[in-house]
Every structure is written in C-alpha cells, then in structure tokens.
A and B are shown apart, each in its own frame.
Chain A
Amino acid sequence: MTSSDTVSSLLPKTADIINPMTWMALGESVRGASHVRHDLPNQDSLDYWPDTVAKSVALAVSDGHGSTKCFRSDRGSQFAVDAAMEVMKELAGRTGSTADQIREIKLLLEDGRVARSIFVRWNEKIKADLARDPLATAKHGEASESVTAVAVGETAGTEGGTGTVLPSTPNVFLSKEEREPYGATLLVGLITDKFGLFLQLGDGDMVALTDAGDAELVFDHDPEQIANETKSLCGVNPLPDFRSKFQVWSGHPPKLLMLSTDGYPNSFSQPEGFLKAVSDIHGILSKGEDGELNTRSRLRGWLRSASEQGSGDDVTVGVLYRANHDVSHREPADIQSGNRAALPCDQDCDKDRRAHANDEPPILTRGGFVPPDTPHRTALSISWGSCFGPFGCVCIMVVVLGALGAFALGVGVGAFAGNRNWFSHTSQPPLSNRDDVSQKPEKNRQGCCNCSGSGLK
C-alpha cells in the first residue's frame, strides 16, 4: 500500500473545515468497437452513489480483463464496483464533522483496511457466484497461501468502531485459480464536503481538476502497466498493489474527479488530449443545470465516439463534480428525473436506439460540438436543444408565444402537455448505464434517457 506524499499530515481542526459543499455524480459505459466486432460483451462496470446532490458521493469503475483465462471478467468487474460501493457507502455513513472521525477514515485507508475490505467482499461475491455457477475445474476452499498470509492474524473490526468496514472473515480469500476467471481492475473515489478518498488497482486513470483549473493525474502511470498488462484483483497478492490517497480539503477541493477505464485515455493521440477532455467536460458541466443535462445526454455518445475513433476498447467514465449551481429550488427527485428526462423519451429515445444500432456518430448539439456532416440533425437539435443554447432565448420566445397563441385559440393543449415531459419523470423501463443491459440487470440503473448518448435532439 502506497500513500500519497501530498496527503495532509496535519488534519485541520473542525473549525478550519470549509463550509459544506455539495457534489453530484454521473457516468456511462459503452461497449468497445472491437468488442462489437468480435461479439464480446462490455467487460467494464460502473457505479456511483447517490443520484442526487449530496455532501458525500462515491464512484467506482472497473475493467474486466477479457482474456481467455478471465472468462468471467464482466462479472468480476461488476462484483468489484459492487464491493467498492458497499464499502464507500459505509465510510460515507460514518463521516462526521469532527477531525477525529476524518482521521479514523484516513487511518482505515492508509493501513490498507479499506482496500482489504473491498477485496474481501469481491471474494465473497465470487464465492457466491461460483456456488450458483461452478467452474468445471474450480478447487473451492483452496485458499491462496500468499493472500491468506495477509488475512490470517488480522482481527475483525477496529478499535474505535470501524464496524462492518472490516468484515470478520479473515480466511475468506479464494485461490488465485478461483479468482482468475473474474480478473478486473478497480478505481474508486469517495468525496465528501470534508475530504476525498482515492483508491486504484490496475490500469485506467483517475484525474482531478484542481480549483485552479489544472487537470492532474491522482496516481502517476505505473511503468509496469504497458502492453495491456495490468495489476489486478486476480493477481497473486493484490492488496499491496492498491494505491491510495487521502486529502482533507483544507483549501479548495477539486472541481471535478474523473475515473476512467483505460479505453478512454488510450483513445487520445496524446496524453494531453485526455487531460483536456476532463477540462472540457467540466466546462460544459459548469454551465449550470443546463450544462449538467447536456453532459448527461452527451456522455454516452462521446464515449462511443472515443472507442470508434480511438482505442476500440470498452470505454467507461465516471465523474464526481461540485454541484456549483443553485439547486435549492428543485427537489432531488426532480433533479434526478430532470437529468434523465433530458429528452422527451417517447420520441427521441427511439431515435437514439436506432442511431446506436446503426453505429451512427454521436450527435452533439451544444457547446460547439456539432458534427459537420449532420446538418439535418443540427437543425433538429437546435429545435430541441434551444432551451439551453445561445439561441435559447429567441427559440423560447417563439415557442412560448406560439404556445400561448395556440392556447388562446384552444388548439394547443396537447402540444403543451407534451412539452411538460422535459422535466417530468419518465415511466419508461430503466436501462442499465452499461451497453449490454442483458449482461447486468442489477446495474446502477438510470432512466430512459440514459440511452441518449447519440443525442438526437
């Protein structure tokens, strides 16, 4: 376990902690162009919590290896994010306002108990999966000597009430042979109004956008991890390979944290291009609620484009960002449904699904992201997207005046009712935010408009 040199060694006193701030999370995962070509599933996984503005938010992404030996790595990546999110929620639940409570969580991270707890739970989930769906050659109960050596001798729980963060199952680790089919990486972030906690095992990138606007890698690239070789949860002894950082917000916290599987950074011709993407996405997000809605409706298309023009790999991106606009006038449920109902579902989601099926390029309608080869879509997108764009005022006036006129004439009621769908919750069945929905029915679910990456607006 390595720990950041930049981690604050002197925690601030309670009185020094800056005013509470709120965060939000979003993310998407798309099946890689190469995986489509070779009829492979999306082996990445993503989860975040909660869906609403909150003082504490958590995010995890994982990349299943997909090799012949890791033939259940799509499940392995899902188990990894599930395990991580369980632990992050528990940590967030014990987050208090005192320096002692923060110090306790910092200690849990830095002495390896957070990583170990995630690893234990990942093993438990594999064990349950093996019970449901045994491997032909699995040797259940044959523990890995090297990993067991880490586990045995440690006691359950921690003095001071760490509770379930450290399960009382010291010998739960499966053998490497049992874990190998599920091999995956893991990146985890937990951000509260007081601190940030970061954990990474294997490839992929974690980038923080500082308050000054600089996009910086949280963990430097590991020179061992090239040519598709990566540290892994299925390694012989993966616990020491976890890298961690803990940062108390004694000054300004980052504006944004992005976690991505390697399919995204590998899609950029230069590393700087990837860092610029972090800044660009924040630039759109920071345009208030409209920017957030725009990002959520565009992200899937951006990622699909990255895979098609770049790496060909599965691409997964999750973002935690400071919710820096005033949301007090909207209830969390409204925000949630608003995000997911950015498109009128009964119309445009069908178009989006067709666009996905035809592998059309993403249609990006705002912030200058309009593909030059789709003028007809541009016209359409201005029509739908004008509520946010620079032409918004003019279009809103036209629409409002038209609607009022129609209403006055008694013929516009239906159209008016239809437009209310903009910020109403959809009744469409939820879709996973991973492309191969059938692979992962329990995935972090989002509403109908989660399929709106191609953004037919």
Chain B
Amino acid sequence: MASTSINTPGGAMAKRPLHFFYLCDCSGSMSENGKIQALNQAVRDSIPFMIAEADGQPGVDLLVRVVKFSDRAEWHIGSPTSVESFVWNDLQPEGTTLMGAAIRMVADQLKMPPMEQRALPPVIVLITDGQPTDDAASAVDELLSRPWGKKAIRIAIAIGNDADEDILRKFIGNKELEARCLLQAQNADQLVALIKWASTAVIKAASAPPSTPVGASAANINVPTPPNPSNGNTDDVF
C-alpha cells in the first residue's frame, strides 16, 4: 500500500509487493475422499497465520491471487489482494484438469509489466491430485521463460498418489529443491500442515531475501524445510 506522506523527498513510498499465487485443482476427482473440503478448510485456516506472518515482515506488502482450474482455468481471486482482505470462498469440484491453462495465466502476470522491478520474489503454490488434461509441460516452459517465473519460489503439493509427478518436477525446475518444494499430502492433516507452511514459512523466506550474485544458484531463496510428512491421521487417507 503506497504511503501518501509528503514529508520526504520524492513520490509516495510503499512496501515491496510480494505476489502469492495459489493454483488449485478443482477437477471432478477432487470431490473424492474429502479432498476439496480439506483444501478449502486448509486455506481458510491458514489465513490468520498468513496475516500474522506478513505483519512481522517490515517492508513487505503480501498480495494474494488464486487461480482455479477444471474444465477451464479462471481467476478465483483475480486482483492482487492484500492479505488482510483475503477471504476464501469455497471451491467446487467438477470436470477435467486444465492445469496448463492455469499456469499460463500466472505466467502472463509475471511479465514486466505488470510485475515491478522492485517486487520481491513471487511465491506460486500449485495444488493438484491428478493428471493435467492439457499441455501443461509447455505452459511450465512458458512460466520458466519469464525472469520472474524463473525466480519465483515454486511449491507443488500433490494430494494423494495420483498426481503427475513428472509435470510437478518440471514445475519445480530444480532437482536440488525437489525435496523441499515437491510435497505430498496423504491426508487432510498433512494438507493443512503443508498449506500452512507454504503460506507462512515460505512467505517469511521470500519476504527478506538477501541479495545474491546473479547465477550463484538456481534458487536465490533458502526454501525452509517443510513439515514432516508422517504427521497426521494415517487412517484417514485421500
């Protein structure tokens, strides 16, 4: 949010934008075993923690957007929304899995403009339970061809065992980061824990990134260690 202070030289000042994207699978398979209910609950429950995390980061304006994809990809929250105003409306499952279209929508938003030079590294969290039904591989290529797409922190959460791991690996784009960025939720508790982690610990890491030499590493952010996947009720699997 820009400050309108006139007490200092120059124009209005503002915290640096940190763009956070959820890409949520709403295909028909998400209606099975309570997956969509778990996803809706997990995101909704994570919001207060997200707000608290953003509050603790000077110089950061956390802005949330959400893309849902099934038979088509569309913005669930299309405007960059300050986390304090972030309200979660439940997703409804239906149809196929146009994951590639959803990734392209985010890739378009990572062009410069609309991205600002001064932005912090974006965070993209892709949540899916199945196989894409469109050309997701080329969409990932497009995302990674964008400077901001390449520098984004990309987290993939597979719900259950049926997600396409190959495309998720391609989305992560860095073998060294797969252990921390390619995650699997086998039950609702694990999904809650992973979404909470992505919306707090990852945001914290993205909020205060130290400067690093260009090309020093494929990822310029130290992605924190995700929660232990063995947590949760193992009897209640997806």
Enumerate chain A interface residues (CB-CB to B < 8 A): 32-34, 36-38, 63, 65-70, 183, 185, 203, 221, 223-232, 234-236, 262, 265-278, 280-281, 284, 302, 305-313, 361-362, 364, 368-371
Contacting chain A: which of B10-18, B70-78, B85-93, B126-134?
B10-18
B151 x A229 contact (CB < 8 A): yes
List, sorted by A's number, 22 A–B pairs whose CB atoms are closer than 8 Å: A33-B58, A34-B208, A37-B56, A203-B211, A221-B117, A228-B210, A229-B215, A267-B13, A267-B14, A270-B12, A271-B117, A273-B12, A275-B10, A302-B8, A305-B13, A307-B58, A308-B58, A310-B3, A312-B58, A368-B6, A369-B8, A371-B7
How close is B61's CB to chain A, nearest CB, in angstroms?
10
A227 x B208 contact (CB < 8 A): no
User: Please, which residues of chain A bring their CB within 8 A of the CB of B147?
Assistant: 223-224, 226-227
Q: A36-B58, A275-B10, A309-B15 known; 19 other A-B pairs, CB under 8 Å?
A: A37-B56, A69-B212, A226-B148, A227-B220, A228-B210, A228-B211, A230-B213, A236-B215, A266-B118, A268-B14, A270-B11, A272-B11, A277-B8, A305-B7, A310-B3, A312-B15, A312-B59, A362-B8, A369-B6
Interchain CB contact (< 8 A) of B213 among A34, A36, A65, A68: A65
Task: Say whether B114 faces chain A, with CB atoms less than 8 Å apart.
Answer: no
A228 x B121 contact (CB < 8 A): yes
B208 x A38 contact (CB < 8 A): yes
User: Please, which residues of chain A bring their CB within 8 A of the CB of B119?
Assistant: 226-227
Instruction: Give the distance in Å from the alpha carbon of A313 to the alpha carbon of B210 in the complex.
Output: 10
> Chain B interface secondary structure, helix, strand, loop or mixed?
loop
User: Please, which residues of chain B bring their CB within 8 A of the CB of A183?
Assistant: 211, 213
User: Please, which residues of chain B bring their CB within 8 A of the CB of A278?
Assistant: 10
B5 x A309 contact (CB < 8 A): yes
User: Please, which residues of chain B bring their CB within 8 A of the CB of A370?
Assistant: 7
B212 x A67 contact (CB < 8 A): yes
Quick one: which of B201-238 are within 8 Å of A by CB?
208-216, 220, 222
How close is B144's CB to chain A, nearest CB, in angstroms?
14
How close is B143's CB to chain A, nearest CB, in angstroms?
14
Instruction: Give the distance in Å from the alpha carbon of A73 to the alpha carbon of B216 in the complex.
Output: 16
A37 x B12 contact (CB < 8 A): no
Number of contacts between A and B (CB, 8 Å)?
Answer: 172
Chain B's interface size range is 35 or more
A231 x B213 contact (CB < 8 A): yes
Instruction: Give the distance in Å from the alpha carbon of A248 to the alpha carbon of B120 in the complex.
Output: 38
A274 x B214 contact (CB < 8 A): no
Task: Say whether B50 faces chain A, with CB atoms less than 8 Å apart.
Answer: no
- Chain A residue, CB-CB nearest to B12: A269
Instruction: Give the distance in Å from the alpha carbon of A306 to the alpha carbon of B3 in the complex.
Output: 10
A268 x B10 contact (CB < 8 A): yes
Residue of B5, B9, B208, B222 most packed against chain A (CB within 10 A): B9
What 7 A-B pairs have minimum CB-CB distances, sorted nearest first? A312-B59, A273-B11, A277-B10, A280-B9, A269-B14, A67-B210, A227-B151
Instruction: Give the distance in Å from the alpha carbon of A429 to the alpha carbon of B60 in the complex.
Output: 37
Instruction: Give the distance in Å from the alpha carbon of A231 to the alpha carbon of B208 in the complex.
Output: 19
User: Please, which residues of chain A bring their CB within 8 A of the CB of B120?
Assistant: 227-228
Instruction: Give the distance in Å from the alpha carbon of A70 to the alpha carbon of B58 in the complex.
Output: 22
Interchain CB contact (< 8 A) of A230 among B6, B15, B121, B211: B211
Interchain CB contact (< 8 A) of B214 among A38, A224, A272, A306: A224
Task: Say whether B145 faces chain A, with CB atoms less than 8 Å apart.
Answer: no
Chain B 62-105 interface mask (CB, 8 Å, partner A; 1/0): 00000000000000000000000000000000000000000000
Instruction: Give the distance in Å from the alpha carbon of A33 to the alpha carbon of B58 in the complex.
Output: 6
Instruction: Give the distance in Å from the alpha carbon of A70 to the alpha carbon of B60 in the complex.
Output: 23
Instruction: Give the distance in Å from the alpha carbon of A266 to the alpha carbon of B14 in the complex.
Output: 8
- Chain B residue, CB-CB nearest to A266: B118
User: Please, which residues of chain B bring their CB within 8 A of the CB of A277?
Assistant: 8-11
User: Please, which residues of chain A bring their CB within 8 A of the CB of B9?
Assistant: 276-277, 280-281, 284, 302, 369
User: Please, which residues of chain B bring their CB within 8 A of the CB of A231?
Assistant: 213-214
B213 x A313 contact (CB < 8 A): no
Instruction: Give the distance in Å from the alpha carbon of A252 to the alpha carbon of B210 in the complex.
Output: 40
Instruction: Give the distance in Å from the alpha carbon of A320 to the alpha carbon of B162 in the complex.
Output: 63
Task: Say whether B174 faces chain A, with CB atoms less than 8 Å apart.
Answer: no
Task: Say whether B179 faces chain A, with CB atoms less than 8 Å apart.
Answer: no
User: Please, which residues of chain A bring their CB within 8 A of the CB of B209?
Assistant: 227-228
Answer whether A229 and B211 are a contact pair too, CB < 8 Å, given A269-B12, A277-B9, A281-B9: yes
Residue of B15, B121, B151, B215 most packed against chain A (CB within 10 A): B15
Instruction: Give the distance in Å from the alpha carbon of A70 to the alpha carbon of B211 in the complex.
Output: 9
User: Please, which residues of chain B bring their CB within 8 A of the CB of A65?
Assistant: 210-213
Instruction: Give the distance in Å from the alpha carbon of A49 to the alpha carbon of B117 in the complex.
Output: 32
Interchain CB contact (< 8 A) of A226 among B11, B56, B151, B216: B151
Task: Say whether B57 faces chain A, with CB atoms less than 8 Å apart.
Answer: yes
- Chain A residue, CB-CB nearest to B1: A269
Instruction: Give the distance in Å from the alpha carbon of A310 to the alpha carbon of B9 in the complex.
Output: 13
